[in-house]
Amino acid sequence: MEMRVGRSFRAYSPGIGPLAAIAAVAAIVLTARPALAQMPGEQPNLRPRITQEMVRSGLKHKDVRAAGHRIFATPFNVLDGLGDGPMNPSDTESPGGRPTLGANGMFLRMNGLDSQTCLECHSILSTATIPARFAVGGAGNVSDSAFPGVVDPDINDSENNGFAAISGRMINPPFSFGSGGVELLAKEMTQVLQALAAQAQTNPGAPVALEAKGVAFGSIVFANGSLDTSGVEGVDDDLVVRPFGRKGCCATIRAFDVDAMQFHHGIQPVEVVGEGVDADGDGVENELLVGELSALHVFQTSLEPPQQRGRAPRGAELFGLIGCAECHVPELRSEGRLLTLSFPEVHEDPSANVYYTIDLSRPPARFAKVGRGVSVPLFADLKRHDMGPGLEEHTGDALDPFYQTARLWGVADTAPYLHDGRAATLSEAILWHGGEAQASRDLFAGMPDEERTDLLTFLRTLRTPRRPNRDLR
Ligand code: HEC
Ligand code: HEC
């Protein structure tokens, strides 16, 4: 049995604590920000607008990608709907009514609102060169980290023990390169797991082993009129594989993006608040159209995948021998080549409501064909693992040591490492492993220097794509 991360605001929600006390104090509403009507001559930055109809039939694939590329890089302003509305004393943590930073009236880096554009945090192509190289859809540095759920940072160490306690998460942004392949694998695995659950239901009392693409997710049994999920491992009890987010919050890039827009920028998607509705009371309706999230989804899932450059056979062999490859599975293969995008999404049934199809074997993604599918060299198993107390973090009231296996493709270019960017080197990242990875970590720690160097040399062959988005500029 495993805890589901988050509730309504899944990607980031820390779970809302008791708020009754706050309501009493919150009579004053500061209105320091200039009203929209006071800004003649200013324009929103999100232009032209993209509708779902345009994505489905009006635009060529390249134009949809270009629209998504532009939306990803658009710095929203208040005319676009940047920001939350007036503070909502009954819920000061969810987007829509969060407090702002005093007189600044806008950004509070802790717990969002934290930025104007996705690009601010997702812009790094490689930190392996000096200076770094940049690309839209890339990773982020430590200063780009997000702090969901932090309500009580103890920066002056009130317990005087050398640790500044923090009550929420601190997470470092990963890149979106190759995410079409990841989303396709996850959808196929979800379909396999759902079918196994259906099989269990037709044979009450007989446990069914849950396995998809060679990855084991425990077992399930139908007993006393319901599915017993207490044997399920590494995936949510609804058997939907959620590869995105470091905790594995989201089945698709779209599901993640819907939350990211609200959390980081206070931009409210129509598919969340409804058409013609100004839910945060900031004076702007239709802040992000269904078609605009679709274009963003198409752009991100079409991005070029990371690639291996050079060979390091000795290190690759050691990677398998000491158990790294048990979680960081070098390659998973898809059954098909077509990634389908749906709206509305039904995560238990990825075949529902399909409006768009991307052939992942074609440019720009161009995954290698194998059989009728493609090879996705992701170095992960799309499963959550217990990484031990050293890496656990606060999610709501609990300390949670579970993470999706980090995909190691591109790892040579994406220092710093781990969910909060604490590891500036690959060696530190490996030495922080505990829990289910303890044995493998200890084998690494005990290897002769020469073998450790071989292993690192191998990891340094795993590179981000050379020139992502090159046809969009
Ligand atoms: C303030 C920095 C910041 C901004 C701005 C930001 N992100 Fe992120 N992004 C993150 C962090 C941190 C994570 C890791 C989240 C987690 O682990 O749950 C992340 C993760 C993601 C992921 C999941 C990637 C994966 O492979 O797991 C997607 C997709 C994503 N962001 C899209 C966006 C989009 C779209 C926007 C703009 C609406 C955006 N982000 C804006 C920091 C940011
Ligand atoms: C039990 C599963 C498991 C095993 C075994 C394992 N890892 Fe990991 N690895 C993970 C998870 C989960 C993370 C993400 C942890 C986090 O973000 O805090 C991770 C993160 C990493 C990272 C950081 C990647 C990044 O982008 O931040 C590196 C590097 C890494 N592992 C290498 C290795 C090597 C080398 C081995 C073998 C010695 C190994 N791992 C064994 C599960 C595993």
pLDDT digits (tens, 9 = 90+) for 373-409: 999 999 999 999 999 999 999 887 789 999 999 999 9
Ligand nearest to the CA of 140: 1
How confident is the model over 281-292, as a mean pLDDT?
A: 96
Query: How many other CB atoms are found less than 10 A from the CB of residue 90?
Result: 11
| Residue 14 predicted with pLDDT over 80 | no
| Largest Cα–Cα separation, the chain | 69
Ligand in closest contact with the CA of 113: 1
What atom in ligand 2 is closest to the CA of residue 436?
Answer: 1
User: pLDDT class for 19, splitting at 50, 70, 90?
Assistant: very low
Q: Are 380 and 328 in contact (CB under 8 A)?
A: yes
123: pLDDT strictly greater than 60: yes
According to the model, what pLDDT value does residue 444 have?
A: 98
Q: How far apart are the C-alpha atoms of 230 and 250, rounded to whole Å?
A: 21
> What is the rounded CA–CA span in Å between residue 58 and residue 229?
45
Of the pLDDT bands very low, low, confident and very high (cuts 50, 70, 90), residue 34 is low
Q: Which amino acid is at 406?
A: A
Length of the chain: 473
Taking the C-alpha atoms of residue 15 and residue 339, their distance in angstroms, rounded to an integer, is 32
C-beta atoms surrounding 321 within 10 Å: 14
User: Is the distance from CB of 114 to CB of 146 less than 8 angstroms?
Assistant: yes
Q: Is 257 in the pocket of ligand 1 (CB under 6 A)?
A: yes
Identify which of 433, 441, 456 to mutate to test ligand 2's pocket (most ligand atoms within 8 A of the CB): 433
> Whose CA is closest to atom 41 on ligand 1?
118
**Nearest residue (CA) to ligand 2, atom 42:** 405
Would you state the pLDDT for residue 3? 34
